[in-house]
Each structure stands twice: as C-alpha cells, then as structure tokens.
Amino acid sequence: MTMLQSKPRLLTIEGGEGAGKSTVLSALRDALLADGCEVVCTREPGGTPLAERIRGLLLDAGDEAVHPHAELLLMFAARAQHVQQVVLPALARGAWVISDRFTDSSYAYQGAARGMDESFIAELERRAVGIEPGLTLLLDLGVAHARERTRGRDLLGGASPDRIERERDDFFERVREGFLARAARHPQRIRVLDAGPDAATVAAAALGVLADYRKALA
C-alpha cells in the first residue's frame, strides 16, 4: 500500500523540540563511524543550501502569518531538494544517512498539529519524496519536560525561540500524539524510545536498537 521505497541505510530521528534528537544522532553517528561505515548526518528542514534557505523562511517569516498550506508545501519543497541532492546520492554510494527529522515530522506537525489533510501529505510523500527510512527512532517526551530542556539549552546558547517553538503547549501535545499515531501505524519501522531518562541512558537504548537492526539486516 505504501508505494514508498524503503531505504535500509536511511535512519531518521524524530520527536518534539528538546526531546534529544541531536544528542542521539551523535551517538548513532559515532557508533557507525567506529565500525568503519561512511555516515552522512543531515537534518530537516534543510540539508542543502537551498533547503536551508527554506528552513530560514519557515522558522522566521517576519511578521507575516504563515498559512498551513504554505508551511506544508515549503517543508516538502525543502525535503524534495534534500532527498535528491543529499540522501539518494549518499545511499547510492553505500553510505549510511542519519537525518534529524524527516517525513514523519510533517505528519506530526503539519498533519496532526496544524490539521492538514493526511491523505494530501501522503500524496506529497509519494510524489516528491518516494522513499522511507528503514529505521526511525521516535524520542517520546512529555511537553513540559521538553520545554525544560530547550529552556536550559537556549539560556546557555543565547538563542531565542523560532516561529514553531513559540507555539503553545496544546500544539506540542498534538505533535506528540501525531508522532505516536505514526508509530502505531508503522510498528516495524518506527521504534519509540522513552526520552525521559538521562542522555547516556537514552543513547544506550538507541544504540541497542541500531545494533539489533543491523543484525537483522545482515
């Protein structure tokens, strides 16, 4: 039914802001590098110069309200560019690709949280993306807990919240439910990890999932 091509060496990390995606990505990258693999780490929205410019537009639209359809289509414009320019070439030469966010984020943010029609998102996915990861790690964390983490990080780095980070808690509750619904629908591909424990514990759980996954591939 999916009509998407599954790419075994494409790994994606999903979850709300502050769940620990970047932290887990580093752990997975280090494990694959230590094993002599070529690894390409990337992120969405972004990952190419054009897609990063689209990211800039998405996260800072100035004073203009962004219509949900514009947000959805810009996300997929960036993703199409990212897949063609970065993800597919890397996979074609046998590299592993780890992406900090991918299409599941559009189902959660633009779909579940902003209310865009899921079948429209699926159509964009089929036509403009065409592939799905072999393995997705979903870092699940309560909204209040995630806010504490991003607040700590932003205070340290002096960053101010972007357009999406400025949404209210009910938005992030819908994002979280949207991700969990994706996981329930794709139990083989998406592994849910409790992102609540300390970073070392979450990283160890993620590495365990990756090791099992690679064993099953071999």
Among ligand ATP, Mg ion, none, the one that 17 touches (CB under a kind-dependent 5 to 8 A) is ligand ATP
Indicate whether 23 belongs to the interface with ligand ATP (CB under 6 A).
Answer: yes
CB 72 within 8 A of CB 110: yes
Residue with tokens 């514990």: 201
Nearer to Mg ion, 21 or 176 (CB): 21
Q: How far is the CB of 100 from ligand ATP (least distance, A)?
A: 6
Between CA 5 and CA 8 the distance in angstroms is 10
137-176: which residues touch ligand ATP (CB under 6 A)?
149-150, 152-153
Which two structure tokens, joined as six digits, stand for 40? 């390409």
What residue type is 8 in one-letter code?
A: P
**For the range 127-130, what are the long-range contacts, defined as Cβ-Cβ under 8 Å and sequence gap of 24 or more?**
128/76, 128/79, 128/80, 129/4, 129/76, 129/79, 129/80, 129/83, 129/103, 130/4, 130/5, 130/83
Among ligand ATP, Mg ion, none, the one that 20 touches (CB under a kind-dependent 5 to 8 A) is ligand ATP
Strand partners, 15: 139
Pattern 80-119, ligand ATP, x by CB under 6 A = ----------------------------------------
Task: Give the interface segment with ligand ATP, choosing from 32-40, 129-137, 182-190, 192-200 (CB under 6 A).
Answer: 192-200
Indicate whether 202 belongs to the interface with ligand ATP (CB under 6 A).
Answer: yes
Q: How far is the CB of 15 from ligand ATP (least distance, A)?
A: 6
What residue type is 185 in one-letter code?
A: R
Q: What are phi and psi of 119, to 5 degrees?
A: -70, -30
Task: Give the interface segment with ligand ATP, choosing from 15-23, 72-80, 114-122, 176-184 (CB under 6 A).
Answer: 15-23
Which two structure tokens, joined as six digits, stand for 134? 């072999």
Chain residues in the site for ligand ATP (CB under 6 A):
15, 17-23, 149-150, 152-153, 195, 197-199, 202
